[in-house]
Amino acid sequence: MISYFSFLIKLKMNFKKHIPNLITLGNLFCGTLATIFAVENDFVFAGLFVVIGILFDFFDGFAARLLNVSGELGKQLDSLADMVTSGVVPGIIMYNLMIENTIDYTNFSEETAITTYLPFLGLIITLGASYRLAKFNIDTRQSESFIGLPTPAMSLFVVSLPLILEYSTFEFAHNLITNNYFLIAITLVLTYLMNAEIPLFSLKFKEYSIKNNVVKYLFLIISLLMIITLQYLSIPLIILFYVVLSLISNSRKSI
């Protein structure tokens, strides 16, 4: 009887240890589905599964801390899943956006040949995400905050672009997104931000007092107002606001 209960306890502990990893695999599954939809230019479902995957990415860490079962396997698996959801997918979306902006394949010339190859530059985002995730795994400084833009934030920025084109009525945003040189600039800026030595605050709360979390509460309130008023356009603006607010907060701390 004692050995039977010992077996059940051991089985329970083993199962508990794998719960965060199963959630991480949910992230990878969503990223794989998002990749399929992104290749097929179905940006709505690609964006939907990226968002669900990012939610899984949040909850796997939460579950690991709650169950006190974090380990090296989970850390590596998390980055591999993120590489798909927040690395491969945004690269494909950026590539496809640039392809759609490239007009007139029939009248081939030297100029159109150059513009035909430009969309491949969108895949730089995937390379930048890979480099950041590899650095993150060996960087012990990012337990309480981030250094460089997190890949999920970059991914949300990119997947929002085709949704802005489809559902937003802001003409200036349409003009920017349908310009390949603007998309290339965004690609380079996001790649730089992911790997730059820029401290960015984390939205994890150790406690909920206003005094010690002014920046976080300010960010959340303004972000909510942006979402209500600007809808899909709010997503890239919120991420830019996040970076700017972090820079302001860092400069104030250094004074």
Instruction: List Cβ neighbours of 45 (8 Å cut-off, separation of 6 or more).
Output: 33, 34, 37
- 226 domain residue, yes or no: no
Q: What is the pLDDT of residue 254?
A: 59
- 220 domain residue, yes or no: no
pTM: 0.86
Transcribe 113-132 into DSSP letters.
Answer: HHHHHGGGGGGHHHHHHHHH
Distance CA 127, CA 188 (A): 11
- 86 domain residue, yes or no: yes
Q: What is the pLDDT of residue 60?
A: 81
Q: What is the pLDDT of residue 76?
A: 86
Distance CA 44, CA 158 (A): 12
In the predicted model, residues of the chain with pLDDT beneath 50 are: 5, 7-8, 11, 105-106, 108, 110
Q: What is the pLDDT of residue 133?
A: 93
CATH number for 138: 1.20.120
- 55 domain residue, yes or no: yes
Domain extent, residue 108, equals 15-200
- 227 domain residue, yes or no: no
Which tokens go with 28?
């990878």
Q: What is the pLDDT of residue 195?
A: 95
CA-nearest of 151, 157, 149, 153 to 236 is: 157
- 243 domain residue, yes or no: no
Q: What is the pLDDT of residue 48?
A: 96
Q: What is the pLDDT of residue 34?
A: 98
Q: What is the pLDDT of residue 178?
A: 94
Q: How many domains does the chain have?
A: 1
pLDDT (tens digit per residue) in 194-231:
999 999 988 777 777 877 788 889 999 999 999 999 99
Q: What is the pLDDT of residue 117?
A: 84
Helix (H) or strand (E) holding 147: strand 146-147
Question: Quick count: other Cβ atoms within 10 Å of Cβ 41?
Answer: 14
Question: Quick count: other Cβ atoms within 10 Å of Cβ 111?
Answer: 10
